[in-house]
Structure 1
Amino acid sequence: MEDILIPTLRTSVSFIILILITMVIGKHINTHKSHYSFALSIMIGSFVANMGFDVNIKFKSMLSSFLILVILFYLFMVLSSRSRNIRKWLSGRPTVLIENGKILDKNMRKVKFSIDDLNQFLREKDIFNISEVEFALLEVSGELSILKKKPFQYTTKQDFNLPNSSESLPVELIMDGKIIKKNFSEKYNHNWIEAECKKRNLQIKDIYYAVVNSDGHLFVDKYKDKFSSPTDVE
């Protein structure tokens, strides 16, 4: 019984500690945008696994080491946010691979990048002709950032001199047939959503999801969509 109880308790406590830690620094770890955040994510996984399953290692010793690791990461994170030099040292800097349409072969060799690697990254960005690229930077995260030459850039509304219009974040008002009161405002309140439902001959309980889009229009999805043969793909 003890062989089952102790690992169960250790695993449960380790998982709770992991959840608490990720609530504090999880956004920095999950992105893997720097060397030290990537290294920390690997070490955290190793620590939690050992704390949970390796009964030959004292739990208190592992926990103290784990907390020291997290504290060190947090301190470095604070320092890097206040000092650009420390941030460069910890996070690294992007490497320019293409500049003014020219491939920088020296930088390619520094990061051990071949032409095949570069072409693959470009294809993943929907670029099949390297002649379309003005700048290409290999980010610390391993992603390739591209700036196309002007003739190949996407057209935006600004190019047509259209009048500016502000947008806002979508506002979810109904989910699973229940009103989300915390998202109410002076404009989008209970009376407003009731009136919108009345226009559509619907009740709140009939609606699966209702959201005010960023353009100010209300999107409503009902529970019963009345499809004769809906697609079912897993």
Structure 2
Amino acid sequence: MRWAAGGAVLLALLFAGAAAVASGRGGGDAAAPAGTLAVPAAGSADAGFARDMSVHHQQAVEMSFLVRDRTKDEEVRRLAYDIANTQANQRGMMLGWLDLWGLPKTAPAGQEPMAWMPSSGHHTHPGRHTGASSAPRDGALMPGMATRTELRELGAADGVEAEVLFLQLMTDHHLGGVAMAEGCAGLCAVPAEKRLAEGMVRGQRSELDLMADMLAERGAAPRP
């Protein structure tokens, strides 16, 4: 199971990279001549979202693999696999676009995460990173991201404890991800990237409803 799931995610990344080359061409400027590539600026919302959401997605994949090894509950394992597979695929697309555009996969030195999205007030917990103007805390670089301490706690938990912690952390993660994706849907110029962001909003909202039900079944709830 471990090798099958890991292999599926790797294949998803490979296929996503190929798809990204096709979908990222010519989408940034309707006035661009046929056959040319309209490249977003390095500081644009398109580039910033692709960079930041790739990091955000990577942590979701990491948490999904952590809980997969900490529980035998098939419902939780299936959700974790779906999240890992979907977000690895999307991450591959976004990194592929950055390659296609000839843009770096990391933000310029001195630039805060989320600088492309000036709005603040994202869902977060006290003491967590709340926007581009806030300093990261314990590795939580963006809204909804788990801290290093929380990742260690998830890796040390077992059974129902691991299931509840995963569902709570992933709920926070999705809420932060939805806010970021909504930002791109309103700010990004590349049509393919806007469509991807809109799909993220729909998919993660659906999973938020599912995770709320799964938490209730375990006598728990999302964190306030």
Please, what TM-score do these two structures have when normalized by structure 2? Answer: 0.23
Structure with the higher fraction of residues in helix conformation: 2
Structure with the higher fraction of residues in strand conformation: 1
Instruction: Give the greater-gyration-radius structure (CA).
Output: 1
| Structure of greater relative contact order (alpha carbons < 8 Å, 6+ residues apart) | 2
Please, what TM-score do these two structures have when normalized by structure 1? Answer: 0.22
